[in-house]
A = this chain, B = another copy of it.
């Protein structure tokens, strides 16, 4: 069996998330259908991590085993011709048999996009949260800096999280602003269920002046989901990149 690794990109707007669900219409289903159409084989795709319904991926990494003899440099073109236009294979190669897209992911970066313009940019409406408020950027940056490092992120995890530990390490957190659009980037060794979206929801309260940067720090330290703000909408979130040790 060969272990094929792929980098893919998708517009999550119409999908019920990455991972196969009983309800159907997931990115994984569509990819596995395209691979079956190409190879005749039903493969089982592993991703670096799931993305929720409506969440996008600029660069997601997946792998699967196959006995197909199709040369590795043909996979991307052959699958792209079978995939709908909202899922794209960027790259394919043959990985070491031990490679596993989830276990070996060392760092992931997410971007959360916000559009603060009065009525919203029509061309970005599916990729940014429209939040037409004046936001205190300096305070937001100060608050966000508190998530960098190793912390118990229980306050910023969905109560549906089933992970035994909520300790994660955030390696980098930053906000870029340009013409009323904010990009919030978070890089970490792992993320809990809804973690980026709850951090952003809470950060928006800081931006509006409902919370101070110190309040944000106290919320993180409280390890209590009820202390934090709301879960920001899915469509502003994008898996930006996944990194592996070479």
Contact = CB atoms under 8 A, between A and B. Distances in A.
Report the copy number of this chain in the oligomer: 2
Contact residue range for chain A?
Answer: 20 to 34
A241 to B, nearest CB: 14
A74 to B, nearest CB: 13
A193 B168 CA distance: 58
Contacts of A90: 118-119
A56 B85 CA distance: 19
Contacts of A20: none
A89 interface: yes
A119 B11 contact: no
Contact of A88 (B58, B89, B122): B122
A95 to B, nearest CB: 20
Contacts of A11: 122-123, 125
Interface string A156-178: 00000000000000000000000
A125 B76 contact: no
Interface of A: 9-11, 56, 58, 76-77, 80, 85-90, 118-123, 125, 127
25 contacts: A9-B121, A9-B122, A9-B123, A10-B122, A11-B122, A11-B123, A11-B125, A56-B123, A58-B123, A76-B118, A76-B119, A77-B119, A80-B119, A85-B122, A85-B125, A86-B122, A86-B125, A87-B122, A88-B119, A88-B120, A88-B122, A89-B119, A90-B118, A90-B119, A123-B127
